[in-house]
Structure 1
Amino acid sequence: MVILFLTIKQLDKVYLIGCGRNAAEVNQYINDHGKYAVGGYIVDDNYITATEKTDQPIFSLTNFLIATPPQASIYLLNAIGDPKRQDIIEKLTAAGYQFINLVHTHSYISNALTIGIGNCIAPFSVVNFNVTIGNHCIINTSCSISHDSVLEDYVTLSPGVKIAGNVRIGKGVFMGIAAAVIPNITIGEGAYIAAGACVTKDVAPYTLVGGVPAKLIKKLSF
């Protein structure tokens, strides 16, 4: 099967969802390509004060929908690290906007990758053979994902996360800095893995685990 990638090189401008410090990093990744610029930032209507000073416009979701309706030349990319980004992304998807995958040129990506849309893979990350990545995931700096592993939608990997082979990471999972997972593990939907944790057994959905080896800290409610 041939996988067709829509790369950032085909774009003139990309609008980022979010305008915090993670968005500043994603902006830099786009600038690293040398030709393309961020057209602006989109934030939730309840997000009153922007945390990032930028040279590009910052739109509330409602204003963006009015000022910049979907068209062939407009592309979006998530830049919110929190898995709760799902709500604003679903609204923009329902409105008909297109999302891209941004894969930094200083990462290694196997040609046997299966990938959805709206994903960001940061510099110095490694995605190995037969990995599947869903939609709107963030794979941060210096992460590694080994063979046959699956990341479902809206997964966030903080810098330095290491995932061994045949691991399944559920929808909306957040993994803290330098967390690691041994082979053949399943992490349930909505789980949070604390920074530096080593996961050696399956993690139940909507739980917080941490430590070496990782143990249950508390159940989460959403």
Structure 2
Amino acid sequence: MTQLFFSEYDQPEAARPLVIVGAGGLGREVAVLVRQLNEAGAAPGWDLRGFYDDAAPRQASIAGLPYLGTSADLNATAQPLHVALAVGGSASRRALRARLTSPLLHFPVLVHPAVALESYQQVSLGEGCIIQQGCILTTDISLGRFVLLNLGCTIGHDAVLEDFCSLMPHANVGGAAHLAAGVYLGTNATVIQGVQVGADSIVGAGAVAVRDLPGGITAVGVPARALAN
């Protein structure tokens, strides 16, 4: 009888456990992203366990997955877990990250399998970044920690997006533009080439930033102008 021996290195890697924090619409979209990554065969894959949210949903199941508890419950985990922060607002996502203090929690980068990110593009991504379907990133781009690019966003050459920036669907950032930490671009908002947007500013849906904007404002219109206090 012939016996076959397989080393541990021949065994497929176990899928990594992953939970989503945020049980709303964005959370369900991130669940779709994770499933698409698994379907694309990205090894070792994700074992999607369910959702956490500090506001309990009305139903015990979200997108076919269980509600698992609050951020405090997540901090009490006894095993290592990968965590995706599915909260669209920059300030809210930053505050949520600050509440998640367990050393057993890890925050992977999740990029839709159809988004081109080859090494020659020289794109750097910080921990916890989420990049959804249809996004285009060109070359020499830096994304900080926990940056969210929702559906169909474009990022031009030499652009910098600092920690906790949030781009809603079809937002556009031109070449060499610089978004400071916590900037939020609404749906179809545009920051043209070379423009800088200060920390925690909001560029409203459809607005076009054609000149530098200071931090801590909300700017709307074409060209984008700060709303009066």
TM-score by length of 2: 0.83
Structure 1 residues 155 and 185: CA distance shift in structure 2, 3 A: same
- Measured after TM superposition, the shift of residue 128 of structure 1 is 1.4
Partner of 2:96: 88
Pair 1:104 & 2:108 matched = no
Aligned residue in 2 for 1:192: 202
Q: What's 2:192 paired with?
A: 182
Structure 1: 5+ residue stretches without partners: 1-8
Does residue 1:26 correspond to 2:30, yes or no? yes
Query: 1:13 aligned to 2:17?
Result: yes
Are the structure 2 counterparts of residues 42 and 181 from structure 1 closer, same or farther at C-alpha, using a change threshold of 3 Å?
Answer: same
Rounded to whole Å, the distance in 1 between the matches of 2:83 and 2:52 is: 9
The aligned runs of 1:1-222 (5 Å cut-off) are 11-33=15-37, 34=39, 36-44=46-54, 47-49=55-57, 53-54=61-62, 55-66=65-76, 68-71=77-80, 74-83=81-90, 84-92=92-100, 94-96=101-103, 97-111=105-119, 112-219=122-229
Assess if the C-alpha contact under 8 Å between 1:30 and 1:37 holds in 2: no
1:127-161 Cα distance to aligned partner (Å, 9 max, x none): 11110000011101110100111000111000101
> Percent identical across equivalent pairs?
22
User: In 1, Cα distance between the equivalents of 2:178 and 2:28?
Assistant: 29
Change (3 A) 1:78 1:37: same
Name the aligned partner's letter for residue 75 of structure 1: H
Structure 1 residues 161-190: Cα deviation after superposition (integer angstroms, max 9, x where no partner): 111110110111110001111111110011
Q: Distance in 2 between matches of 1:129 and 1:212?
A: 27
Pairs aligned (count): 205
Structure 1 length-normalised TM: 0.86
**Pair 1:110–1:10, CA change in 2 (3 A):** farther
